[in-house]
Structures are given as C-alpha cells and as structure tokens.
Amino acid sequence: MELRSPWGLALAGLIVPLIALYILKVKRQRLAVPSTWLWSEAQRDLLARSPFKRLVAQLPLILQALALILLALALAAPATRGGAIAGDHVAIVVDTSASMGAKSGDSTRMAEARRAAIQVVRSLGPGADAVVIEAGADAKVASPLDRDRRRLEAAIEKLEVREVQGKLSDALALATDRLRSLKGDKRIVLVTDAALADAQGLSSAALPLDVVKVGEPIENTGITRVDVRLGVDPTTKRDQVQAFAIVNHFGASARDVFVTLRQRNVKEPLASRKLRLEPGESTPVVLTFEPTAGDRGTGLELEISPGDALPVDDRAYGRVPGSRKLPVVLVPKTANPWVKRALQADPDVELLGTSPSSLASAEIPADSLVVVDGSCPAELPAGDLLVLNPPAGPCHRVIVGEEIKEPLITSWNEGDPRLRFLTLDGVSVAKARKLELEGDRDSLVRSREGTIISDLPLPGRSGTLIAFDVGESNWPLKASFVLFIRNLVEQARAGRARGITGATPTGSPLRLRVPPSVPEVSVVPPSGDEFKVQTKVGLAVIPEVSRAGFYHASWTQGRPGSVLAVANLTSRAESDTRERELPKLAGGGELKGTEQATEAFTTWTWLLALLALGFLAFDAWWLTRKPKARAPTAPKAPERRDLERPLVRRPQRGGTG
C-alpha cells in the first residue's frame, strides 16, 4: 500500500476545529422560570467560569470525525501495486521489427506485445500519463502523451509488424526526448522479443528502463544475404544469371531445406538445391540459369522450403540484370574522337549515337551513360551524364564562366572514384572555362584560376562536367585519360547494378530512376495497394519501404514505361530468434516476462469516498430523526408515613400566645 498524493492527508486537520465546536459552551438566552429544579444541570454549567465543557463522546461527533478521516485518505490516493514498473510519466516502446512476426504458439510475438503493452497501460498509477512509441527502422510516436487509457490502448491495437531491421537506440532516444522536460518520476518500458540489432543501447538509455520480453525461443532458418549478377557460363560462354545467397540456420538441431530460384509470378523453378544445415551453420549457395532476351529486367525470387515460424526471411528478391555491355550514347554521333576511342577500348561498352535535338525524344536506355560534347542538354537523361566543353552560361546548378588561357592544374580530388589510380602531373590545357560551383566539395580538378572539372549534381545519378576540349590538351596522350574514362564507365556500371539487383534494404528510402519528363509514377507495392509518387528531375523516392518484395512503378506521360525495383530484409539480427542474454539495463531496470507486465496498481479512492458519504448520510439521518414518544407516567405519590405525621405549628415571631 502506498499514498500517491500524501498532501491529501492535510484534510484530517479539520478534526481539531470539529472537536472544538463540541467542547465550547453554548451562550444561552436568559429567561425567568418558576423553578430551577428541572434546570439543575444547565445551572451548574452556567455557573462554571471556564468557556469549555467536558467532551462527551456523542454519535454525531464520531460519525463526522470518521467521515473527515476517510475523505483525507481518499484525497491521499491510496493504492496497492505488485510490480516494479512505476512512474508519473511512462514511455511505452513497442518493438515492431521483422522478428516480431514470428509465430509463438497460436499467435505471433506482435500479438503478445500488444497484449503486454495494453496491460502496462491499464496498470499505470493514478494520475500517470504515457506516450506510445513504435520502434521499427525509424522511431515513430504512435500516441502522444495522454492520460486517456482508451486512446492509448487504441493506438497500441493499431501497431503492426514491419519487415525491417529495428533500430532500438532511435526509439529510446525519442522516448527520452519526450519525457526529459516533464516533472515527476519518469520511466521507459520496452516491449520486445529481444532479437535486437543494437542491444547495447539498453544500457545507455538516459532514463530508467524496464524490458518486457515476449515470445518463446524458436528455431529459424533465413536468407541473410542475396546478390544477383550477370556472368558467363564457363562451358557455353553465354550470359549466365548468378544468384548468390547466404542461408543461416539458428537452431539446436540439424535441418534439411530446399533453396529454389524462380521468376516473378512463375511457379516453375529455374534452379533448386538441397542443403543440410547444422546447428548455427551459415551456408552460401549459388543458383544459376541462362536468360533469354525477354528475361531482362524481370523479377527473381529465392525461397527456402519448408517454411518455419518466421516467414519473412524465407524469401529474398532480385532482378534479372541487363546485358553485360553498358550502353553509351554519344551526342552528337561525331563526338570528341579521343573520348570515343577511349570508350571503344572497353569490350563491355556498346556505343550508340544521337543528335542533340533528339536527345529528349530518342529511345535511350534508362541505364546508359550519355556523353554530350559542345553543349549542355536542357533535358536530363535517365542515366549518368558526361558534359564536354560546354558554352558559357548555366549548366544544371553549375555556372560556366569566362575563358582561361593555359590554366595550370594545381590539385585534384584523389578521393573521388572518378580520379582514383591516376595523376594529372604534366597535363597541360590550351584553354578552358572557369566553373562557378555551389560548394567546394563539387570541385574535382582545380587550376590557379579556378575549377575546370567538376561534379554535376544530379538527383539519383552521377554527372561530370569537363570545361575544356580534351583535344586542345595533351591529356589524351596520358594514361590518366584512359583511366579517367574507364572510371566513369565503371561508376555508371555500378549505378546500373544497384538499380537492377534491388539491394535496397527494407526500412530505407527506395529510389527509382525514371525519364526526367515524367512528373509522377504509380507504384504497386507487395501489398497491392497502389499509390502515387511525385518525381523530381527523373527521380522518384519512396520515403520508407516497410515490406520486402517487388515494387513496380509505371507512368503514362510522354513515352509510357515502367521499372521494377525490389527490397530485401536479409538481416541476421532479425532472423536470429533464439533466446539471448540482454546487457545490464539502464537505471536499474528489470527484465520481465509477459505475465509480469502488469503493474497491479489498485486505487481505493472511490471506496473511501463512498464510505465517507455513507457516514455523513447516517449522521444527517440521526440528527433529523423524530424521537419516539414516551407514555406519560403518573407522579410519585407521597409515602404513607408522611401523611400520618402530626402537624406541628410553629409559633410566629412577635405573637402573644
């Protein structure tokens, strides 16, 4: 038993004036009466000199004193509790990461977590408030600080599992931020299955932390890594799609599984392999097939069978890569011969050409590298861009300025991937134009007069601007020029690979490269609920993907088209559903099971107030009741011997006889 508001006991001080009212004498009115025989008690009281009289234990006094004591206790908010979770302000953090979708008996861990969180809400102390925070890839406030239990419980009921790797430290930081400025006792309650990617954050929390652990330990097998590449069949020398995966078995006993590769929406498998997994074993597997021309860009699905208690990590997704050759579009077709020769030196480059006027309308592959010589294109391509010797004026957030005669190269950004493994010592340029940039970090090659090669900031792609004609320099005669062009090609190839294999992890933004003229795209996620996404300069961004699978984007503006992207969970921390030992909790917190989640707070204010009201009602009835009428009694007759006593006359004073 504890008093949540001890100041309420001050009401009991009213007992003192109550008793004083009962011991003070009443000032009575003076009246003339024929006899004081019936008023002897009142007469003695009036003759006493003290203003107080002796306290008599009367029933109204007892009832009124008991009512005051009960009201004082009611205001003090007495409550009983059986747990250790307490606080005037509580942050309830609920883990919604992928592992919470694991089946635990007939329900999931997420269902147990919701029940446990609701128990915490129902067991909050009198006058306490709580905030509900969802701990997924990003921390979100599911319900602001509130005392209304129904609203808090409704917010908890809406929480769902997200197929993401949780970031517990972000959720604890958000909970601390919401409670830091409040006065009173503050506490964080975390409801989780303890399959945490950053478990050390439990010991670094800034407020006392209690952990309610849900779910039983289970054995699980999952795909924790996937990559899809294009190779060459060593026998046929034809293109070969190679799907690499790592399968982890988190269990105490060995297990046989099948890993199957199939195309999207196709039941017939492309390849399959049986694995024997020992306890705790991590096994790599490679599944291959020879694609046809129509397979380019289609979706791939890897699946483990039979399934287990955590279905989300039994599947991983990818996309069939395009041709091994990177398309490079020259604008115009007769672009700088030195650049064209350096590109032709790469056997995996496919050279194409078009005119500047038809650049926007030409059917240029979305994953191509576009090289523009002598101009700056108004319409940006979908792929990477290289601009050579542009005219003076603005060029996509870079200002091409005045001409510089014989600029002397002084430095270059060796950390940029386009300039790795090369040196520009001995390179001389006849003339160039000075570039005005938004920031120094965009500068790639600098001379004494200013920047002459810079990065061209483009959303979702790479851009490079060379402010001189390479034919008017000795750079093409240096090995560094060939290395520079090769680095540009490799950077474009890496960007295409990222867009093809769909290496976006769930919980992160998904970026889709589309034609720059497209204002918006329609996206169909794995759930099937289509939504619209606005684009900006050829880039569509989905802020957060919460489910693993295929994301199909399409558009009808201009030339209709579509693109397929994928998102994968592939998290070892989320797939490991075994029981783990948690680090020491912050603030001396406790680790509890689901059955211990209740705080067992029971307040008795209403009962004490009801009893006080009952005493007052009885007191009012007692004082206003009508006394029972008594039967009249005959006066006492004098005794007989008094009647037989002789009458004796006393002589009068002053008489004669």
Helix (H) or strand (E) segment spanning residue 129: strand 129-135
Per-residue pLDDT tens digits for 192-235? 988 887 777 777 778 888 888 888 888 899 999 998 888 888 88
What was the pLDDT predicted at 107? 85
Give residue 301's pLDDT band: very low, low, confident or very high (50, 70, 90).
Answer: very high
Give residue 599's pLDDT band: very low, low, confident or very high (50, 70, 90).
Answer: very low
What was the pLDDT predicted at 498? 62
Task: Report, as an integer, the average pLDDT of 318-332.
Answer: 86
Task: Report, as an integer, the average pLDDT of 388-402.
Answer: 92
What was the pLDDT predicted at 615? 79
Per-residue pLDDT tens digits for 155-186? 999 999 999 998 888 898 999 999 988 888 88
Give residue 656's pLDDT band: very low, low, confident or very high (50, 70, 90).
Answer: very low
What was the pLDDT predicted at 35? 67
- Superfamily holding 326-499: Class I glutamine amidotransferase (GATase) domain (3.40.50.880)
Could you give the count of Cα atoms lying within 13 Å of 569 in the half-sphere of its Cβ?
Answer: 33
End-to-end Cα separation, the chain, in angstroms: 94
Topology agreement, domain 221-308 and domain 502-569? yes
Alpha-carbon distances, residue 591 vs 83, 90, 109, 391, 427 (angstroms): 12, 16, 17, 68, 67
Architecture of the domain defined by 502-569: Sandwich (2.60)
The CATH classification number of 221-308 equals 2.60.40.10
Helix (H) or strand (E) segment spanning residue 492: helix 479-501
Give residue 25's pLDDT band: very low, low, confident or very high (50, 70, 90).
Answer: low
CATH fold of 89-218+580-603 reads Rossmann fold (3.40.50)
Where do runs of H (alpha helix) occur along 271-376? 337-344
Give residue 598's pLDDT band: very low, low, confident or very high (50, 70, 90).
Answer: very low
Give residue 330's pLDDT band: very low, low, confident or very high (50, 70, 90).
Answer: very high
Higher pLDDT, 15 or 392: 392
Task: Report, as an integer, the average pLDDT of 15-23.
Answer: 76
Task: Report, as an integer, the average pLDDT of 510-538.
Answer: 87
Task: Report, as an integer, the average pLDDT of 113-140.
Answer: 89
* Rounded Cα–Cα distance for residues 482 and 502 (Å): 30
Handedness of CA 161, 162, 167, 171 (dihedral sign): negative
Task: Report, as an integer, the average pLDDT of 448-472.
Answer: 90
pLDDT for 391 beyond 50: yes
What was the pLDDT predicted at 41? 58
Closest alpha carbon to 549 in 235, 207, 313, 268: 313
Closest alpha carbon to 174 in 215, 144, 154: 144
pLDDT for 638 beyond 90: no
% pLDDT > 90, the chain: 39
What was the pLDDT predicted at 501? 44
* Rounded Cα–Cα distance for residues 542 and 6 (Å): 53
Residue holding tokens 């592959």?
365
What was the pLDDT predicted at 245? 94
What are 210's two structure tokens?
A: 């209690």
pTM of this structure: 0.68
Task: Report, as an integer, the average pLDDT of 454-471.
Answer: 89
pLDDT for 110 beyond 90: yes
What was the pLDDT predicted at 84? 41
Give residue 614's pLDDT band: very low, low, confident or very high (50, 70, 90).
Answer: confident
Closest alpha carbon to 115 in 126, 107, 124: 107
What was the pLDDT predicted at 579? 76
* Rounded Cα–Cα distance for residues 139 and 142 (Å): 9
- Tell me the backbone φ, ψ of residue 479, rounded to 5 degrees: -65, -25
Task: Report, as an integer, the average pLDDT of 464-493.
Answer: 93
Q: Do residues 314 and 291 lie in contact, with contact meaning Cβ atoms separated by under 8 Å? A: no
Per-residue pLDDT tens digits for 551-569? 999 998 877 888 888 999 9
Task: Report, as an integer, the average pLDDT of 501-523.
Answer: 82
- Tell me the backbone φ, ψ of residue 623, rounded to 5 degrees: -75, -25
Higher pLDDT, 657 or 239: 239
Q: Do residues 98 and 313 lie in contact, with contact meaning Cβ atoms separated by under 8 Å? A: yes
Sorted by where each begins, the domain ranges of the chain are: 2-78, 89-218+580-603, 221-308, 326-499, 502-569
Residue 441's Cα: distance from chain center in Å? 33
Least confident of 11-20, 235-244, 579-588: 579-588
What was the pLDDT predicted at 235? 87
Give residue 530's pLDDT band: very low, low, confident or very high (50, 70, 90).
Answer: very high
Mean pLDDT for the chain overall: 83
Task: Report, as an integer, the average pLDDT of 332-346.
Answer: 90
DSSP annotation string for 164-199: S---HHHHHHHHHHHHTT--S-EEEEEEE-S--TTG
* Rounded Cα–Cα distance for residues 397 and 442 (Å): 11
Per-residue pLDDT tens digits for 56-77? 667 777 877 888 888 888 887 7
